[in-house]
Structure 1
């Protein structure tokens, strides 16, 4: 039995699970972090729409039901696979900086970095809202249903009394302090935080969605919504202007193609470091027979942690907007460089700090490397990921965010949506890797992913979680490919996250005996992950598998921290 046969044989034994929701289907499937958004996507599939229609409907619905993580003011990366034409593209709809931004924008008059909470809730932190341009491109080039149909579920949600779910309550407990006065009117009415079980109407957001329905996505860039965005940014000290909105457009890019144990993988390219980080970890792990170790063994987690450390060390030194500074992408994945990095890890070696290597010597277009300072990563811990597959085999996978939970905390008055703080994804120190600059993309960790077997897509997945995204995506892939776990088990399985300098070490459910073994190897896991602003779970993976040998049967899974679901037709 081949590996792919073993993978799909395992799917037949999925057990019902109260924590993790999943489903099977033949005519389409949608997986997202909020059930109502999943339903909006499936509504499009039932109306004869394709995966791209479903993806657009999910994003618009999430603006209503997961507005603390995404929405009209967000940005992201969309991976589009056209099954008929065997074509896969990355739609880069990531926020850019306004043209007038300067490298010292987050430095005060004394030459000191402005504290993160202060700079990230200021108008200067707001990147050009970009996801609506991404949806516009997908709608014009891939989708089949009219915008009025795609946006209708979101409008219905906004005008109804939508349920306040557990994610709203948890994030308000953690991030109420980031909300500006306008946002507090919605999320902390009369000084009382919304809690699970409350009902919420959003008439201002309903107005915004109806404006987009009537005038198109372009209204966010040239219409009344654009005017409101610029007025709001300037009122909070920002420098974005109308020309910045008018000039913004998405970039359509070839994916970063890599492979793992004979499976091809399509990933986003910089300014997302998520693609190269995922690919590099898998290339390192591919050199090892990791399946010789039990799925829940100290050896497995120790090797996973070291591969993650090595990839992140290189990411911090080399990856940023490649329009401003070239990156050694080929060198990072070069066979000889991977073997060189592999020499820094071992199942028998204790936990230790990992540093960046020198991939430039393996790069064909050698770059005269200029030394840059490496600054701390302050990328927000939350995002959202969703994916859709249709009856024709098309796939849309999207990871989108307003950066920190509740973004900048700045809500556009009268329009009901939050603005992002993506510009604090830049390293604040001038001269550092990923320094701020005008018309520059801040680095991102988003990694929507599609895996292929013999030219056909068989797995699509992604996760929120900033730098932890690549940990979640890689460990789910390893569980599927190396351990032949059913997709629900692969998603639910415990994960680890370890920084290169060991300063942050998180786990999300390892048992005491395993923690003791890892402690003996030098790990000191911080089990209070929540204090950093995220759930105790690392990531929130949404995934769909396609069994082409069985009439394209679909298997979906949605991780359990959020109120999401995977539903098939």
Structure 2
């Protein structure tokens, strides 16, 4: 992968912009005008009409169509020279086009994320943050760009408590100005481009600008989230997501967001400085403060990403590699998978009662330790080595028995945290509220073997419900990921990053990526990723089968949440052992996106939304038969 900066830059934990650059560009931005939408640069209109050529029209990029010989599109496809899997067909098409033009996996990922800001604002965007796990084939190393949101310097540990010292209801917290973290996405994308990119920012952000200015059709999920979140929207969001008559946009309507196009134009020319200094930053801060938050201009200008060493562990002759803390995701995925490996779960049938019972018990143990010990390592002394210690995990696994439960779930008991090496005793941290927010995950692999697994978020669907007036993007409510009760390693502290469940993961064999995986879904992200890996490698399912096989989720305190397809006979059998299940299924859990990497690439997109995998072949010839017996499907 082409690297455009000093390789020693990766040794720096904190990445910030130079003071000279910031001051010069702040002066320019100030002169440009402080009012919203101060300027607009016209976009080149796209060509073509109808689907799938409608994707070409929406992106304004000539050369992409699912009908073209170099591209193949579907829920599971194979290709030789590049693969993208994302929640959005338009974004997948943009990323595949970047690959066709010679861009690498990071270039494609950057372009894709900017497009998601436009087409999937309910799940992610520049008003939030995320984690990008990158495999650099030339360097033969995995690195992580951590752009998690931070609490403002003015945050207080009791800011989510009412006047009586009780937690403010979660439904109210998510709309508070205090819930908005300092966004990190723009800084994260710019850092990844500086370290690994091969294409100019102007090229990578152009498709998103064209989409925002020219418009695109609202998909089913976008329309549903506009309707469901309408009452929590501020006036700017309502105006942006309504038609000419002031009614909420519905599926098939064209959404145009010229304010966002202008914001992205600023970013196109001036990068992260345009977002963290000047008029955009001022408007962002004013929006948060008007809602009661403490965020200041200094909070934005001080924001820094970190370049992290991934968490990694051996499992089933493979290596699981992913984002470390402050995301609990890959660490907890590893914890669960290693317990299930000790229990030899593969001896039980795919939809057997024993399989679901062991997954639920292993997940409960993992959640007890996650909630007790994990937090931002810049602020908390997390015993992560002890939690993932093989002897400790083997001892935890020995507690699980097929014929009984770990606790009296029917009596309201929860599983207790363990005592890993390096810890004297649990602190009895208050259990946080269950988080079932949403994000976006996508994976990209290029023909040179570079790989990206990237999860980004604004927390709940539509975040805080606040759009920055005149700027066109939604603000996160990420700080609700902190524990409302100020105890334990995940309590609120100034400049701290809240604990996350995002799980961008790469499965490696002999040091080379073999599988990329991730999902949205709040706390359920972890179970979606762990069980997808389990289904792929223990049960031998093809990628699409692995991510669509019905899954279950619980914390240290049941009931068990389940997807349609989990047999009633299995639920009834485990209930006889003391498990407690929800009365109704949760429908769909998560939205997993994967890429399987072998002689050819196989991408699979979760059908629970409108995602699409897009493969690229330079020769224009597609593999007639996929690996391990599957073929191209539409």
Is the counterpart of residue 560 in structure 1 residue 607 in structure 2?
Answer: yes
Q: Which residue of 104, 109, 116 corresponds with 1:55? A: 109
Query: Tell me, which stretches of 5 or more residues in structure 2 are unaligned?
Result: 1-72, 617-634
SS in 1 for 2:404: coil
Find the counterpart in structure 2 of residue 70 from structure 1. Answer: 124
CA shift in 2, pair 1:375/1:303, >3 Å: closer
Find the counterpart in structure 2 of residue 278 from structure 1. Answer: 333
CA shift in 2, pair 1:198/1:524, >3 Å: farther
CA deviations on 1:152-177 (whole Å, 9 max, x unpaired) are: 11112112231111111222343333
**Aligned residue runs from structure 1 range 76-155, under 5 A:** 76-155=130-209
Is the counterpart of residue 404 in structure 1 residue 464 in structure 2?
Answer: no
CA deviations on 1:272-323 (whole Å, 9 max, x unpaired) are: 1112110100110111222211112111111111111111111010001122
Q: Displacement of 1:114 after TM fit? A: 1.8
Deviates more, 1:509-518 or 1:78-87: 509-518
CA contact (8 A) 2:436 2:524 kept: no
CA deviations on 1:377-399 (whole Å, 9 max, x unpaired) are: 34342111011000110011111
Rounded to whole Å, the distance in 2 between the matches of 1:194 and 1:391 is: 39
Q: Displacement of 1:512 after TM fit? A: 3.4
Find the counterpart in structure 2 of residue 179 from structure 1. Answer: 233
CA contact (8 A) 1:155 1:209 kept: yes
Deviates more, 1:258-267 or 1:376-385: 376-385
CA deviations on 1:187-236 (whole Å, 9 max, x unpaired) are: 24445332212221111111111111122122111132112111211122
Rounded to whole Å, the distance in 1 between the matches of 2:582 and 2:174 is: 25
SS in 2 for 1:88: strand
Rounded to whole Å, the distance in 2 between the matches of 1:437 and 1:328 is: 20
Q: Number of residues paired by the alignment? A: 538
Find the counterpart in structure 1 of residue 394 from structure 2. Answer: 339
Q: Displacement of 1:554 after TM fit? A: 0.2
Find the counterpart in structure 1 of residue 482 from structure 2. Answer: 426
SS in 2 for 1:459: strand
Find the counterpart in structure 1 of residue 59 from structure 2. Answer: none
Rounded to whole Å, the distance in 1 between the matches of 2:155 and 2:131 is: 23
CA deviations on 1:388-438 (whole Å, 9 max, x unpaired) are: 000110011111100111111110000111100111111111224411110
Find the counterpart in structure 2 of residue 485 from structure 1. Answer: 541
Query: Tell me, which stretches of 5 or more residues in structure 1 are unaligned?
Result: 1-18, 531-535
Q: Displacement of 1:518 after TM fit? A: 3.7
Q: Point out the structure with max Rg over C-alpha.
A: 2
**Aligned residue runs from structure 1 range 179-328, under 5 A:** 179-189=233-243, 190-328=245-383
Find the counterpart in structure 2 of residue 16 from structure 1. Answer: none
Q: Displacement of 1:330 after TM fit? A: 1.2
Is the counterpart of residue 545 in structure 1 residue 545 in structure 2?
Answer: no
CA shift in 2, pair 1:118/1:197, >3 Å: same
Rounded to whole Å, the distance in 1 between the matches of 2:434 and 2:187 is: 26
CA-atom RMSD, angstroms? 1.8
CA contact (8 A) 2:229 2:465 kept: no
Deviates more, 1:172-181 or 1:381-390: 172-181
CA contact (8 A) 2:363 2:553 kept: yes
Deviates more, 1:441-450 or 1:191-200: 191-200
Rounded to whole Å, the distance in 2 between the matches of 1:304 and 1:510 is: 13
**TM-score, normalization by structure 2:** 0.82
CA contact (8 A) 1:351 1:521 kept: no
SS in 2 for 1:234: helix
Rounded to whole Å, the distance in 2 between the matches of 1:449 and 1:414 is: 36
